[in-house]
């Protein structure tokens, strides 16, 4: 026997010496030495494709499917002693799986083959079942070991794995809902390209109750059949498979597979095993979760009630306590089983003997235990801890158990003790109090007076007989009688009442009485009697009426005022505000108390506001300032605000009373005027700025001409070109600085003032004017400040003031030089400062200002320039800018010309 035949025989289960002739299910192929097919025989020949029957001699490889063993190069001589697995193309398009070997035959070769399709199919089926079983075991194991918190997530992941493994577009698991006794979708998964037939938490009702729960149910819409018509209510128009899971109580879960007709090799038992692998662990974990929740609820309930169970263990003379009860008794560090004697040591000596006796009766006589005891604890001497101890016997004979519970009733017992103490105090109060104490008995829905304290006679001159149920309403003032009857109804309805009405005394005078009463009820909630007192508040009531009338007049005055009036604490919390203030803040007046004024102030404004009211003193209690707020619906608002402090006897500020008016329109007009003046200044400076920009342009043009000339002569050196380019770059930067500063100077000023160094304004002014002034032959004499200081305001506005002053000086010098060509004009700008003020001086040698005009120099629209040259706003706007910064702008005539002084307060920088 050849080695190849022996190997193939062993693969097919043959024994040595067996007949190798192909069976009825085999195939024999005659081959030449090159592997060309010479002939076919045996039963499998009819199953091959038509390409094998023609007159030509095809090569064996042409009859095989891709992936066969002979797809490699070779000839039959090289295939000997090998087991060949060959896949032929069948007649109907199917694949014919064969296994065989090559033998020499006369001048050629013979290939003997057997059909192994069933063998491969069985092996594949076994592998699929093994993989399915492993997947089911893995899913079941993961569901059993995952945490309860991740259970829904892990289960949904398994549904996704199931969908991908079995190619089920839509899969879900339905569980029986114990609350409404219906079915509910616990979890579902749908592929991205499949519609979701169900939603997590969706109720299916009782539609699955009548289905057969012993085998999978199938719905095939293409064939129009199903095992049960009620499947349509679950799957609709989709194909599906419904697999039950049964436990000891019947069907407990269903596995729903939508848009799925099943696989031919998946049997019913496979589906049942798969459903059990998913639903079994899931139901077990859900029951475990439900059990934990029940235990948590019981423990929480015991903790809230201060209770817990106990059980006597007579055999060991011990008592077993619930963990929560151990915690309540401060025994959480000890075991749950405690010696009975140790547990009794926790009880107060006054109650210990009685409890021990009742426990003995419970064990020996089976008599139920019910008593109240106190704990023996030194930290509860004032308010002892009371427990209600109750127990009973369960079972009979050897199965008898002695169980019970302990309930914390400290609140009830302490209230009883407090009530007894209050009753004693009330008795003492009745005997000595100046108020009238009374008791009214509840009779047939009405309250009848049955007791008045002795203080009734001195107060009103009446006795109990004069104030009985029939006569008491007649003693009430006619205007207050309805109030008295309503007082009685409220007392019966709510159990307590507090009212005020007038009662006539024996002299015919009326007294205002404050009536406070409480209704007492029995154990069934039925009213028994009312206990109350009358307190004479006539003087206080009359005084309150007078105060109320005074406050009403004050309220009318405040509410009708067009000004904003309010009161607030030192932390800016409002305690009162009138209607105009509420309108500005867009709320109701009743909503103002509790609001903080700082809510509408910026951080800087708030700090300044708090500092200002912090400087109020009993000697100087008034302060006035302009504040900026960000009100609802507005960008900014300005208020003129006047505060007056209210101090106690020690000089501590208690409250601030404030009056304010809206100054927004005036302030915006000032800002618009300032901006207009700024733009007018830019317009007047246009010629100088053009010169300032043309000057660097001319320098750059000359530099470029020289460079081009050198390049044309071929005499351009690197050092020469570098020097010219650096000069051009410097001139570009010079022009850029001028343009950038013009753009910054032309912007609107910021809303709020900020600290800045005045030297910045001086530098900006010189950047815009210095070159233009020098071009007009004006000498600049500038003295920079030696130490940096800061002032509050807007740097661009101070720069606007200095530009106005220097432009005015320039125009005055130009006019003087026309009269005196020999004049050598100059403008001086220098700065001085001390600890409180900064002074900026602008001086010239133009001869000064006519003394008769000095008083009008800062008036709006006043100018000494020719018509069409000036607006008359520069000095007026400058004066307003300096004043808004808390400073002063002044002018005097010096020896050679006018001297303008800008005086500003030094800013107090807070850390």
- Reported as a single tens digit per residue, the pLDDT across 164-173 is 888 888 999 9
CATH of 671-905, one of 3.40.50.720, 3.30.565.10, 3.40.50.2300, 2.60.40.10: 3.30.565.10
What is the per-residue pLDDT for 238? 79
Task: Give the rounded distance of the alpha carbon of 848 from its chain centre.
Answer: 69
Higher pLDDT, 64 or 529: 529
Nearest to 699 by CA among 674, 724, 719: 724
Place 229 in a pLDDT band, splitting at 50, 70 and 90: low
C-alpha to C-alpha distance for 177 and 589, rounded to whole angstroms: 55
What is the per-residue pLDDT for 300? 72
Higher pLDDT, 712 or 3: 712
Place 433 in a pLDDT band, splitting at 50, 70 and 90: low
Place 511 in a pLDDT band, splitting at 50, 70 and 90: very high
Residue 454 has what DSSP assignment? T
Region 796-809: mean pLDDT is 83
Q: Is the pLDDT of residue 679 over 90?
A: no
Q: Is the pLDDT of residue 6 over 70?
A: no
Q: Where are the alpha helices (DSSP H) in 461-602?
A: 472-475, 481-494, 538-560, 579-584
43-80 pLDDT, tens digit each = 777 677 665 545 577 887 777 876 665 555 678 888 88
Question: Which range among 120-134, 378-392, 629-643 shows the weakest confidence by mean pLDDT?
Answer: 120-134
Nearest to 287 by CA among 405, 175, 450: 175
C-alpha to C-alpha distance for 127 and 85, rounded to whole angstroms: 19
Higher pLDDT, 243 or 699: 243
Region 582-598: mean pLDDT is 87
C-alpha to C-alpha distance for 465 and 259, rounded to whole angstroms: 93
Residue 692: what are its φ and ψ, rounded to 5°? -60, -35
CATH of 3-115, one of 2.60.120, 1.20.1740, 3.30.450, 1.10.3470: 3.30.450
What is the per-residue pLDDT for 332? 67
What is the per-residue pLDDT for 2? 39
270-299 pLDDT, tens digit each = 788 888 888 888 888 888 888 887 777 777
Place 482 in a pLDDT band, splitting at 50, 70 and 90: very high
The count of other CB atoms within 10 Å of the CB of residue 49 is: 15
Region 712-740: mean pLDDT is 69
Place 11 in a pLDDT band, splitting at 50, 70 and 90: very low
Place 691 in a pLDDT band, splitting at 50, 70 and 90: low
Region 482-503: mean pLDDT is 92
What is the per-residue pLDDT for 256? 87
CATH 3.30.450.20-classified regions of the chain: 306-414, 433-543, 561-662
Pairing of strands 826-833, 779-783: parallel
Contact 111, 31 (CB under 8 A): yes
What is the per-residue pLDDT for 503? 93
Class of domain 433-543 as given by CATH:
alpha beta
What is the per-residue pLDDT for 851? 82
What is the per-residue pLDDT for 882? 86
Q: Is the pLDDT of residue 631 over 60?
A: yes
Which helix (H) or strand (E) segment holds residue 327: the answer is: helix 323-328
Q: Is the pLDDT of residue 828 over 60?
A: yes
CATH 3.30.450.40-classified regions of the chain: 128-293
346-365 pLDDT, tens digit each = 888 888 899 999 988 988 88
Higher pLDDT, 789 or 61: 789
What is the per-residue pLDDT for 478? 92
Percentage of the chain lying above the pLDDT 70 cut: 79
**What pTM does this model have?**
0.37
What is the per-residue pLDDT for 19? 43
> What CATH topology corresponds to 306-414?
Beta-Lactamase (3.30.450)
Q: Is the pLDDT of residue 911 over 50?
A: no
Region 672-679: mean pLDDT is 60
The count of other CB atoms within 10 Å of the CB of residue 104 is: 13
Task: State the first-to-last Cα distance of the chain, in angstroms, to the nearest integer.
Answer: 108
Contact 219, 250 (CB under 8 A): no
Region 617-634: mean pLDDT is 82
Q: Is the pLDDT of residue 341 over 50?
A: yes
Place 476 in a pLDDT band, splitting at 50, 70 and 90: very high
Region 756-768: mean pLDDT is 83
Pairing of strands 446-452, 436-443: antiparallel
Residue 350 has what DSSP assignment? H
What is the per-residue pLDDT for 117? 74
Q: Which is the CATH superfamily of the domain at 561-662?
A: PAS domain (3.30.450.20)
Percentage of the chain lying above the pLDDT 90 cut: 11
Render 118-151 in DSSP notation, one character per residue: HHHHHHHHHHHHHHHHHHHHHHHHHHHHS-TTTH
> What CATH topology corresponds to 128-293?
Beta-Lactamase (3.30.450)
Higher pLDDT, 853 or 225: 853
Please, what is the average pLDDT of the chain?
Answer: 79
81-134 pLDDT, tens digit each = 788 888 887 776 677 888 888 888 888 888 888 877 777 777 767 777 777 777
What is the per-residue pLDDT for 562? 79
CATH 3.30.565.10-classified regions of the chain: 671-905
What is the per-residue pLDDT for 903? 92
Distances (CA, A) of 505 to 120, 458, 510, 602: 118, 10, 6, 63
């Amino acid at each position: 026997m050849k080695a190849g035949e022996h190997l193939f025989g062993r693969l097919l289960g043959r024994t040595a010496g067996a007949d190798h002739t192909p069976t009825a299910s085999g195939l024999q192929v005659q081959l030449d030495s090159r592997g060309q097919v010479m002939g076919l025989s045996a039963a499998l020949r009819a199953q091959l494709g038509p390409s094998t029957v023609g007159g030509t001699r095809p090569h064996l490889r042409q009859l095989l499917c891709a992936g066969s063993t002979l797809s490699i190069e070779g000839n039959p001589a090289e295939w000997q002693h090998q087991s060949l697995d060959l896949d032929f193309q069948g007649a109907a398009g199917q694949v014919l799986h064969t296994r065989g070997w090559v033998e020499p035959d006369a001048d050629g070769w013979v290939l003997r083959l057997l059909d192994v399709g069933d063998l491969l199919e069985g092996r594949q089926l076994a592998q699929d079942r093994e993989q399915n079983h492993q997947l089911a075991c893995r899913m079941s194991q993961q569901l059993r070991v995952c945490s309860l918190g991740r259970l829904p997530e892990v289960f949904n992941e398994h549904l996704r794995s199931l969908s991908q493994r079995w190619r089920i577009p839509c899969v879900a698991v339905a569980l029986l809902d114990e609350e409404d006794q219906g079915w509910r979708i616990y979890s579902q998964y749908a592929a991205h390209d499949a519609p979701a037939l169900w939603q997590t938490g969706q109720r299916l009702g009782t539609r699955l109750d009548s289905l057969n729960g012993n085998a999978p149910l199938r719905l095939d819409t293409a064939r129009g059949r199903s095992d049960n018509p009620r499947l349509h209510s679950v799957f609709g128009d989709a194909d599906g498979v419904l697999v039950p899971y049964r436990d000891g109580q019947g069907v407990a879960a269903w596995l729903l597979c939508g848009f799925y007709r099943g696989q031919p090799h998946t049997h019913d038992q496979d589906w049942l095993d798969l459903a059990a692998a998913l639903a079994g662990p899931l139901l077990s974990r859900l029951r475990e979760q439900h059990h934990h929740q029940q235990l948590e609820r019981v423990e929480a309930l015991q903790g809230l009630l201060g209770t817990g169970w106990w059980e006597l263990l007579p055999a060991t003379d011990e008592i077993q306590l619930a963990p929560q009860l151990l915690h309540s008794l401060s025994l959480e560090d000890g075991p749950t089983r405690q010696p009975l004697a140790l547990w009794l040591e926790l009880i107060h000596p006054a109650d210990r003997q009685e409890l021990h006796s009742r426990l003995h009766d419970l064990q020996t006589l089976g008599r139920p235990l019910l008593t109240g005891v106190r704990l023996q604890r030194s930290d509860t001497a004032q308010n002892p801890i009371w427990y209600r101890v109750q127990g009973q016997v369960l079972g009979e004979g050897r199965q008898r158990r002695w169980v019970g519970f302990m309930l914390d009733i400290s609140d009830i017992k302490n209230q009883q003790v407090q009530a007894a103490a209050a009753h004693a105090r009330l008795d003492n109060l009745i005997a000595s109090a100046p108020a009238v104490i009374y008791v009214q008995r509840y009779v047939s829905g009405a309250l009848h007076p049955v007791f008045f304290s002795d203080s009734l006679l001195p107060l009103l001159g009446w006795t109990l007989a004069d104030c009985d149920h029939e006569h008491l309403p007649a003693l009430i003032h006619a205007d207050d009688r309805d109030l008295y009857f309503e007082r009685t109804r409220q007392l019966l309805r709510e159990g307590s009442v507090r009212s005020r009405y007038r009662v006539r005394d024996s002299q015919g005078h009326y007294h205002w009485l404050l009536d406070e009463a409480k209704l007492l009820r029995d154990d069934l909630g039925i009213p028994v009697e009312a206990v109350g007192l009358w307190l004479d508040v006539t003087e206080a009531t009359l005084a309150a009426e007078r105060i109320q009338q005074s406050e009403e007049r004050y309220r009318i005055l405040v509410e009708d005022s067009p000004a904003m009036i309010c009161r607030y604490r030192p932390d800016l919390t409002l305690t009162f505000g009138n209607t105009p203030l509420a309108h500005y803040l867009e709320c109701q007046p009743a909503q103002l108390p509790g609001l903080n004024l700082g809510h509408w102030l910026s951080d800087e404004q708030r700090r300044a506001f708090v500092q200002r009211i912090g400087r109020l003193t009993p000697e100087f209690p008034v302060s006035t300032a302009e504040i900026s707020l960000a009100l609802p619906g507005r960008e900014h608002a300005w208020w003129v605000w006047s505060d007056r402090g209210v101090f106690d006897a020690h000089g501590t500020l208690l409250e601030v009373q404030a009056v304010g008016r809206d100054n927004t329109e005036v302030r915006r007009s000032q800002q618009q005027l300032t901006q207009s003046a700024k733009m007018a200044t830019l317009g007047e400076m246009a010629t100088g700025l053009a010169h300032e920009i043309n000057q660097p342009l001319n320098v750059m043009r000359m530099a470029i001409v020289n460079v081009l000339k050198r390049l044309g002569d071929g005499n351009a050196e690197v050092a020469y070109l570098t020097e010219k380019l650096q000069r051009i770059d410097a001139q570009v930067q010079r022009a850029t600085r001028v343009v950038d500063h013009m753009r910054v100077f032309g912007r609107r000023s910021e809303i709020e003032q900020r600290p800045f160094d005045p030297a910045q304004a001086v530098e900006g002014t010189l950047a815009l004017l210095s070159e233009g002034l020098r071009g007009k032959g004006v000498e600049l004499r500038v003295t920079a400040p030696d130490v940096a200081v800061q002032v509050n305001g807007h740097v661009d506005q101070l720069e606007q003031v200095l530009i106005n002053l220097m432009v005015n000086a320039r125009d005055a010098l130009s006019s003087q030089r026309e009269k005196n060509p020999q004049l050598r004009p100059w403008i001086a700008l220098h700065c001085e400062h001390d600890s409180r003020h900064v002074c900026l001086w602008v001086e010239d040698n133009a001869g000064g200002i006519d003394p008769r005009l000095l008083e009008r120099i800062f008036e709006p629209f006043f100018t000494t320039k020719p018509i069409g040259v000036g607006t008359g706003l520069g000095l007026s706007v400058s004066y307003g800018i300096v004043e808004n910064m808390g400073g002063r702008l002044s002018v005097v005539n010096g020896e050679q010309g006018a001297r303008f002084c800008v005086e500003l307060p030094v800013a107090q920088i807070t850390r």
